[in-house]
């Protein structure tokens, strides 16, 4: 079962906090949607620091990060 975190419109650190909560829940892969480069990088770094793989896609001015074990 996968989990989606919609953090569009939220400012940091909220996207990172929501992502960490999803990681703790353990429903992989986790898809995180953000709008800003800052949020994208903060979420990516946080997930990688915890040892997870992150794939980033940009579509229509938004970013979709897929986090997997």
Q: How many domains does the chain have?
A: 1
pLDDT at 1: 62
Instruction: State the pTM of this model.
Output: 0.93
Q: Can you read off the two tokens belonging to residue 29?
A: 């892969």
Tell me, what CATH number does 44's domain have?
Answer: 3.30.110.40
Q: Which residues contact 60 (CB under 8 A, 6 or more apart)?
A: none
Q: Residue 19 is part of which domain span? A: 3-68
pLDDT at 58: 96
Decide if 65 contacts 39 (C-beta within 8 A). Answer: no
Per-residue pLDDT of 4-45, as tens digits, reads 999 999 998 999 999 999 999 998 999 999 999 999 999 999
In this predicted structure, the answer to whether residue 67 has a pLDDT above a threshold of 70 is yes
User: What number of other Cβ atoms are within 10 A of residue 39's Cβ?
Assistant: 25
């Amino acid at each position: 079962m996968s989990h989606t975190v919609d953090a569009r419109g939220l400012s940091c650190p909220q996207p990172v906090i929501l992502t960490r909560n999803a990681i703790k829940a353990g429903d992989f892969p986790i898809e995180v949607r953000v709008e800003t480069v800052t949020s994208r990088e903060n979420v990516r770094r946080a997930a990688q620091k915890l040892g997870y793989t992150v794939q980033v896609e940009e579509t229509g001015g938004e970013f979709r990060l897929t986090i997997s074990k």
